[in-house]
Structures are given as structure tokens and as C-alpha cells.
Chain A
């Protein structure tokens, strides 16, 4: 299922787009992810991920309004497609299924060696 595989980073990007709703464009997505992940993320890396997701049909985009901060340039606003939402749900379901199988005891972190 190579075509629909959702990478960890791509999943985060999709979630960020969902969180931001109408405000989901490059700089805001970058900021949101940076704040959540506490790590610096280059615009180039994000762009690559967004392009991939769009190619897979998980995202669609359209040009939004221009603002002064952007030197009069338009934003590209992203929305998650139904296909994208489905695969997010799928990924979550798969994960929860696995989590449920893990016995509780195995999750107790132990520092005694």
C-alpha cells in the first residue's frame, strides 16, 4: 500500500492542518508544528511533505488572500480531503488496536536494573 502510506511526519502535518482549519497555510502550519514538536522545522521540509500529501490526495489547496506581511503575495490554504481524514482515522485505529494489546505492566517504567 505504498501510495496511501502515511508517515509519522506526514500525519503530524495533516493534524496541524486540521487544527488550524481556515488558517492552514505555510507559515502557520510551520509555527504550529514547531510549537507542538519543540523542534525546528525548515520551510523546505514542510513544503516537501505538503507536496507529497497533495500528490497522494490527502490534501487539497487553493490560493487565499494576500496580506502585507507577505509582500502582497497570496497564501496557499490547505484543507484535508476525505481521503486524508480516512487515512488519519485508519492510522489512529491501527494504533489504538495495538495499544490495547499492550499489557499494562509492560508500560510501567522501571528504573531498577
Chain B
């Protein structure tokens, strides 16, 4: 017999733990004997498996050890059955309270489940890559002379990738560059689409990321020029029914036309990816366009998302420590300083990008961990409010149940068994609510998906996670909500309650009141939060931006349009619905990402610009079209040829940053920007080019030398439809083959506040829910209180009190609780919302009216609910309530 093989230790121990002592020797002996027989018969692996199965199958009442201190003929199961029976009777016997409890808890749980689904999804981003723990995204930060960050891009210049790979061979397994193709027109026969999900990617892409191949070879799919890999759904769009492998698809962008051969089909981008793609084209194709050598010298074109795969066992810190030396080696000096003083590289784990990365450029706008926290806190609060209802109503009803407790105690029930009974009751209620809440979630999920832009469903979640979540919520709520009544009710002294002496309920009332105050405190905070968020959104949408954003239609441009701009402009201007036409490299509502270095003259001396000045390439009429206010100097003049080569217009922020004492002083001063020498000819007032979530940046306007990316058409008021119809006609000619697509600056500006609007909307619904649940509780409490005091009401009425007086007397008490809630909520929400607004450079003031509205709404709801029950009690006929006394 081979003694080195033994049964699994863990299971042996586990069996020892649960097996009754009387049987242990015999059974363990049998198990072991069978195990060694099985080792000979089937080998150790199978023998172990059989052993494990046998141990599990030993879990039978006849084998399991009896729990200590219990009689061997335990009536445990009977007791649990009894608890359940009593609980069910209590639930059914008190329909109003049960409904309030179950409904409130169901709403709270539904909110918790929804938010959990959302949070789990948010936290799961990019985790599906098998090497996700080793993948990092590199970003580049520029510092100004004071060491402050002036720009931080999630993209690098093209040479970084290859140099990182060669210089850190041994730390890095792979470096892969990805570059957006900026929506080229892709076509196959008559099928044409502008592909936003088009990316150039290096051949090792699929070594780093684990998107699954349906067809093709991941190792070679992107190594050849003119090769392209499509996602399944993109392939279906172009090649419905055909086999796409080996077929060609035509790429067209800014006049460049290339045929790409399809070398692979991959699964669609999973929704929890930090960017969405529809196709990857081979990077060598791009290198052939630009010239590989040129690209390796282009440190200024920061357009390449660069991902690193660490060697196993290496840490990113090892790489980070060597980056300054790396930068100095390749970038040399900048104005006498080593490049590493102004240039930095940062590395972020792939799985952090979605929630933690908010750089000046990202492949796609990311979400924010703050929203995850906010949503979670709100959901938990609603659940707490619902639990409070449960606690309050149970303790309020304690008088009714006190007798039950007394009788049970006299009959010999231990306090522990009473606690168990009450906990059983609340877990039962929680379970019923949980089932109900699942139904609610199913109902609300489509709306929530629509709202959150996600495709959450029960099928996409890990069933184990979900089961654990449900059991966890039920138990947590059951214990949380049930513990107080359980301990409170079980503490009654049987002599007192059975003798009929009134319980000292005033002391208990204090806790109950405190809980009601807490409920309203949270609800009112949420209401005020909604108000402030809405105020801020309204503020951002309506604030004067310093230029005219109305009636501005933005269209994509191309080289051809740029070359013949004067002609095209004149032709468009003939159209009566069009007021003005201009073009530029950037349009308001976009981001200011372009910048170059330069010098400026101050006190007769030329000085280096040591902060970032963003540039916008424009044509002569740009500032006039946008209706920007001039503070000094003049606009570009197209009669002066020199204006297109040596004139600069700066904004006020730029002039202030340069240190001129006045706007006028800057006029005619020498200025050099990106190698272009000239003079400052004008200063415009600051205006909000970027969203109001950004500070106004220093900007320089130059008449374009580069390519114009956008055409802005200013349309006459109320004639947008005619103008757009006309432009559609024109643009189909000018950009042949491309679908017509436009947007207006006003809409684009507003869409930048989507995250805030979603937050506002969510808080809105949730504050409604919170108030609803809190009021449900108040309703229960007030109706209970009236019921308890019907006799008092009767006596008062007999003695001459009017209905009004009775109502006032009762309402006063509840109103006071809400008012205390308000009194606490106002300073807390003031502080909280002040913090929230502080994150916006341009924020609305906290208006008292917002606080008043929130408070009044809560108070009004509360009073209406409470008086509803109280009036019913107050108008009741004293004869009915008093005759039995």
C-alpha cells in the first residue's frame, strides 16, 4: 500500500468536524479503506474525487453531529416551522403595515440591485483581457516653467512606442500603438459607411489584447501592409451572407484611397471596453503613407495611444524610474533645460482607464469613479430609509405584541428564541420584498439601460455574483431591520406587560422620532441636491459664452474645400438663408489640444513663452462670424496680404499670462509662435471655447497655414431648415461619397453636460423614491398613532374639541420631526453641494430658493400624508370609539 497517497486533508477535517462521534470511527475507517481500494482500482485522482463526493454525501441527519446543548430528539425544525407560521400570521394579520414594510423594502432593494448591476459593470471594464493585469496605457504630460501641468494627453508621439520597446527590452514584453483613423469612408461595392470605429494598430495588437478571432490568424493578421481585421458586426454590415476573408474593402480619407484585404474577423468589442472599435487596419500601411523615418522623428504629433505589456514578474515602477533618462536620451534639451523637466510619461493600468482617467485627450470619453460612489451611496440611503420604516413600525406596534412576548416568556421561552423569532419574521419580510424587487427591477431595467447607455441584464451578470448579492441583501436587511425590534421587544418583562401596565413608550418614541428625522434628513438632502444640480446645468446652458453660439452649423471640411474656399464661400453666401461662412482647425465646444512654443516681446526684449498657448487656425472672418468682442486692435483683414503670414490675435487670458499691463500695450508688439514671426494685431475678450467645466485657456488665433478641419456656417435666424437642406446638396458634391453629417455649436455645447444631466436625472428619481418610502413610513406611523389614540380623540371631542384642534394637535408632532430634518439637511446639503460646485470653474451660486423649495416639498408631502390619516381619526364618531370602555 502506498502511504504517500492520502485522502484530501481538508475533507478529512471537515468530515471530522460534522460527523457524530458515535459513528466517526466506523465511518472514517470505511471511507479510508474505500479510498485506498479506489487508488488501486482507478488511481489517486479519481480516488480523491470519489472521496470528496462521499464526504459530501455524508451530510445526512443520521450522520451529522447534534448541535451542543440540544436534546438529541431536536424539535428545531418544528420550531422554525412555528416561527414561520407565526411570522406569516403576523404579516397577514396586519395588512397595512406589512404592505408598507414590504413595498418600502422592495423599492429599496430594487434600487440596490439596479445600482449593483451598474457598479459591477462599471468596475469590470477591460478585465476580460487575459493579460489585463500587465497592460498599461502610457500618457504624456507637459509641464510649464513653474512645474505646473499644462497639458496631459492620453496619446504619445509615434517614436515613443518603438523606443520604449527597444530601450526596455526585458521589462516590456510588447508595446503596441493604436491610432484613430478619424472616421474614414469605407466601402465595399455599393455599401458605404463612415467608420468611427476605424483604428490603425500594430501587428502585435492581438498579442497584448485578447479579442477573440473568429477567422484568421492573430499572429499575422496585421503584419502586412493593407491588411485589415473587422469585427463580426462590421463584417456583417459589408458582407452580409458572403465570406469576407480575403475580400477587399476600400478606404477613403482626405482623398487617399487604399484597398484593404480582410485578414481576420474578431468578436465585437465587448461593451465594457474603454473604447469601441469596428476594425483595425495594419499600422505598416500608415507608416508607408508618412514614411517610417519621418514618423520616427515626429515628436510633436501626439496622436498615438500606446499600450505596454509588462513581462511577467516585472513592475511598472521599475520602468517609471528610468523614464526621465529615457526622455533626455531621445528628446535632448528644450531651451537649455533637459527635456525631462518639461516632459513626463505616466503609465496607468488598463483596467483603471474607464473610471480613473480624465486626460486632455482620450480615445473615448470615460466615466468617473465619483459617479459610481455617488450612485452607490444614494442606493444605500434608500435601503436604509426602508429599513428604518420597518424598525419604526415594529416598535410602534410593540404594545400590541408585548402581550405575545409576555405569554411566550411565561411559557418558558428564552430571550434568544424570541430574538430568533423576530429575526425570522423580518428575514421573511425581506425575502418577500426581494422577490417583489426582482419584478420591479425587470420592469425598470429597460428604462435604466436607456438612461445609463448600458445593456445591463440578469443574463450578463455572473449568476454567482447575483445569487450572493440577493442572499446578502436579504440577510443584511433582515438583520438590520429586524435586530432593533427583536432586541427591544424581547426585553419586555413579562410581569409588567401581562399586568397591563402601560409600557414606558415615551423613551422609545425618542428613538423612533430620531429615525424619522433621519429619513427626512436624507430625503431633503436629495431634493436639495436635485435642485442645485439642475441650477448648475441651467447655468451652464444659459451662461453668456462671450460669443454667439446660436445658428452655427458645423460641417466637416477637406483639402479640396480648403483649396477653393473663397469660391465656395462666395457661392454659399449667395444663399439667402446663410449669413456667413468661415473655417478653422477647431470649433467652440471642442477641446483646445494644439499648441506650439514661441517668444513674445516685453519691455523691448524677446522672452520665451513658458506656458501653453493653444492655437486655432482660422480664416479672416472667423472672429466676426462668431461675434467675439474686441478689446483692442483690429480683426484680420484679407486685403492685407501680411495678415495671413505675420498677424496674431490673442485672447485676454493670453495677454494677461504674458504680463502686459493693458490690452492696448500688447498691440504691435513682436510675437513669434511655432516659428512664425510677426506682430500682435488684436486682442479679443475671453470667451468660452471649451465647456464650462474648463477654465478659459490662453489662445492665439492665426490665419491658417494648415488644414481646415471644419467649416462653420452661420445661418439666418429661423431659416435653419432651408440652409441645412441647401448645404446637404452642396456637401454631397464637395465630399463625394461621404454621408452628410452636421451639428450645431449650441447643441454640442449642451451635450457636454450630459454626465451632469444624468446625475441630476438619477438623483431626481431617487429623491422621489426616498421621499416616497419615507412618507410611506410616516403614513404607517401616523395611522398607528391615531389608532392608538382613538379613545383620546373621542374624549377630547366629547369634551368639546373641534376636528381642527384634534388634527392640529397630532399633525404638530409629525411636522416637528420633518422640520428638524430640514434644519439638519440644510447645512449638510449646503456644504455638500458647495463642494460639488467647487469642481466647476464656472458655477452658479447656491440660491436660498433651491433650499426652500426642497424643504417645502418634503414638508408638504409629509403633512398631506399625515393629515389624511389624522383627519380620518378626528372625524370618527366618539360613540364608536368610547362605547366599550
Which A residues are closer than 8 A to B by beta carbons?
A: 25-27, 30-31, 42-45, 47-48, 51-52, 63, 66-71, 73-76
Tell which of B25, B36, B58 touches A43, judged by Cβ atoms closer than 8 Å.
B58
Tell which of A44, A52, A73 touches B57, judged by Cβ atoms closer than 8 Å.
A44
7 A-B contact pairs sorted by A residue (CB < 8 Å): A25-B30, A26-B27, A44-B57, A47-B27, A69-B1, A69-B37, A73-B28
Question: Does the CB pair B62–A43 fall under 8 Å?
Answer: no
Among A42, A43, A67, max chain B CB count under 10 A is at A43
A43-B27 contact given A68-B1, A69-B32, A71-B32, CB 8 Å threshold: yes
- Given the complex, which residues of A lie within 8 Å of B28, measured CB to CB? 71, 73
Cα distance, A26 to B738, chains bound together (Å): 81
Q: Any chain A CB within 8 A of the CB of B839?
A: no
Question: Does the CB pair B33–A70 fall under 8 Å?
Answer: yes
Question: Does the CB pair A26–B32 fall under 8 Å?
Answer: no
Q: Mark B72-83, 1 if CB is under 8 A from A, else 0.
A: 000000000000
Q: Any chain A CB within 8 A of the CB of B34?
A: yes
Provide the main secondary structure of the chain A interface.
helix
Q: Across the A-B interface, give the 10 residue pairs with the lowest CB-CB distance, nearest first.
A: A73-B29, A26-B30, A70-B29, A42-B57, A44-B57, A44-B58, A76-B26, A27-B33, A69-B33, A27-B30
Among B27, B54, B59, max chain A CB count under 10 A is at B27
Question: Does the CB pair A44–B26 fall under 8 Å?
Answer: no
- Taking CB as reference atom, which chain B residue is nearest A46? B30
Q: Any chain A CB within 8 A of the CB of B63?
A: yes
Tell which of A42, A51, A67, A73 touches B62, judged by Cβ atoms closer than 8 Å.
A51
- Given the complex, which residues of A lie within 8 Å of B36, measured CB to CB? 69
Question: Does the CB pair B26–A74 fall under 8 Å?
Answer: yes
Cα distance, A51 to B54, chains bound together (Å): 17
Q: Any chain A CB within 8 A of the CB of B742?
A: no
Question: Does the CB pair B29–A26 fall under 8 Å?
Answer: yes
Q: Which chain B residues in 1-19 approach chain A with CB under 8 Å? A: 1
Q: Mark B32-73, 1 if CB is under 8 A from A, else 0.
A: 111011000000000000000110011110110000000000
- Given the complex, which residues of B lie within 8 Å of A47, measured CB to CB? 23, 27, 58, 60, 62-63
Q: Any chain A CB within 8 A of the CB of B815?
A: no
- Given the complex, which residues of A lie within 8 Å of B29, measured CB to CB? 26, 66, 70-71, 73-75
Contacts between the two chains (Cβ within 8 Å), count: 72
Q: Any chain A CB within 8 A of the CB of B31?
A: yes
Cα distance, A80 to B740, chains bound together (Å): 93
Tell which of A30, A44, A66, A76 touches B59, judged by Cβ atoms closer than 8 Å.
A44
Cα distance, A51 to B26, chains bound together (Å): 12
Question: Does the CB pair A43–B26 fall under 8 Å?
Answer: no
Question: Does the CB pair B27–A70 fall under 8 Å?
Answer: no
- Given the complex, which residues of A lie within 8 Å of B32, measured CB to CB? 69-71, 73
Tell which of B25, B34, B60 touches A27, judged by Cβ atoms closer than 8 Å.
B34
Count B-side interface residues using an 8 Å CB cutoff. 22
Question: Does the CB pair B57–A45 fall under 8 Å?
Answer: yes
Question: Could you tell me the distance in whole angstroms from the C-beta of A87 to the nearest C-beta in chain B?
Answer: 21
- Given the complex, which residues of A lie within 8 Å of B1, measured CB to CB? 68-69
Question: Does the CB pair A48–B33 fall under 8 Å?
Answer: no
- Taking CB as reference atom, which chain A residue is nearest B12? A71
Cα distance, A47 to B54, chains bound together (Å): 11
- Taking CB as reference atom, which chain A residue is nearest B51? A43
Other A-B contacts than A30-B34, A42-B53, A47-B62, 11 sampled, CB-CB below 8 A, are A25-B30, A26-B30, A26-B33, A27-B33, A31-B37, A43-B30, A44-B57, A45-B57, A69-B33, A69-B37, A73-B29
Question: Could you tell me the distance in whole angstroms from the C-beta of A33 to the nearest C-beta in chain B?
Answer: 13
Cα distance, A25 to B29, chains bound together (Å): 10
Among B29, B34, B53, B57, max chain A CB count under 10 A is at B29
Question: Could you tell me the distance in whole angstroms from the C-beta of A56 to the nearest C-beta in chain B?
Answer: 14
Question: Could you tell me the distance in whole angstroms from the C-beta of B17 to the nearest C-beta in chain A?
Answer: 16
Cα distance, A31 to B25, chains bound together (Å): 19
- Given the complex, which residues of B lie within 8 Å of A67, measured CB to CB? 33
- Given the complex, which residues of B lie within 8 Å of A74, measured CB to CB? 25-26, 29
Question: Could you tell me the distance in whole angstroms from the C-beta of A76 to the nearest C-beta in chain B?
Answer: 4
- Given the complex, which residues of A lie within 8 Å of B31, measured CB to CB? 43
Question: Does the CB pair A44–B25 fall under 8 Å?
Answer: no
- Given the complex, which residues of A lie within 8 Å of B27, measured CB to CB? 26, 43, 47
- Given the complex, which residues of B lie within 8 Å of A70, measured CB to CB? 29-30, 32-33
Question: Could you tell me the distance in whole angstroms from the C-beta of A67 to the nearest C-beta in chain B?
Answer: 8
Question: Could you tell me the distance in whole angstroms from the C-beta of B722 to the nearest C-beta in chain A?
Answer: 82
Cα distance, A75 to B23, chains bound together (Å): 11
Cα distance, A25 to B23, chains bound together (Å): 13
Cα distance, A31 to B28, chains bound together (Å): 16
- Given the complex, which residues of B lie within 8 Å of A26, measured CB to CB? 26-27, 29-30, 33
- Given the complex, which residues of B lie within 8 Å of A73, measured CB to CB? 25-26, 28-29, 32
- Given the complex, which residues of B lie within 8 Å of A68, measured CB to CB? 1
Question: Could you tell me the distance in whole angstroms from the C-beta of B14 to the nearest C-beta in chain A?
Answer: 14
Question: Does the CB pair A44–B23 fall under 8 Å?
Answer: no
Among A44, A45, A48, max chain B CB count under 10 A is at A44
- Given the complex, which residues of A lie within 8 Å of B34, measured CB to CB? 27, 30, 43
Question: Does the CB pair B57–A75 fall under 8 Å?
Answer: no
Cα distance, A51 to B29, chains bound together (Å): 17
- Given the complex, which residues of A lie within 8 Å of B30, measured CB to CB? 25-27, 30, 43, 70, 75
- Taking CB as reference atom, which chain B residue is nearest A45? B57
Cα distance, A43 to B57, chains bound together (Å): 8
Among B26, B36, B57, B60, max chain A CB count under 10 A is at B26
Question: Could you tell me the distance in whole angstroms from the C-beta of B706 to the nearest C-beta in chain A?
Answer: 79
- Given the complex, which residues of A lie within 8 Å of B58, measured CB to CB? 42-44, 47
- Given the complex, which residues of B lie within 8 Å of A51, measured CB to CB? 62
- Taking CB as reference atom, which chain B residue is nearest A66? B29
Question: Could you tell me the distance in whole angstroms from the C-beta of A64 to the nearest C-beta in chain B?
Answer: 10
A75-B59 contact given A30-B34, A42-B54, CB 8 Å threshold: no
Cα distance, A75 to B27, chains bound together (Å): 9
Among B33, B53, B63, max chain A CB count under 10 A is at B33
Cα distance, A26 to B53, chains bound together (Å): 17
Question: Could you tell me the distance in whole angstroms from the C-beta of B57 to the nearest C-beta in chain A?
Answer: 4
Question: Does the CB pair B26–A48 fall under 8 Å?
Answer: no
- Taking CB as reference atom, which chain A residue is nearest B35? A69
Question: Could you tell me the distance in whole angstroms from the C-beta of B505 to the nearest C-beta in chain A?
Answer: 53
Question: Could you tell me the distance in whole angstroms from the C-beta of B248 to the nearest C-beta in chain A?
Answer: 60
- Taking CB as reference atom, which chain B residue is nearest A68? B1
Question: Could you tell me the distance in whole angstroms from the C-beta of B72 to the nearest C-beta in chain A?
Answer: 13
- Taking CB as reference atom, which chain B residue is nearest A51? B62
Question: Could you tell me the distance in whole angstroms from the C-beta of A65 to the nearest C-beta in chain B?
Answer: 11
Question: Could you tell me the distance in whole angstroms from the C-beta of B33 to the nearest C-beta in chain A?
Answer: 5
- Given the complex, which residues of A lie within 8 Å of B33, measured CB to CB? 26-27, 67, 69-70
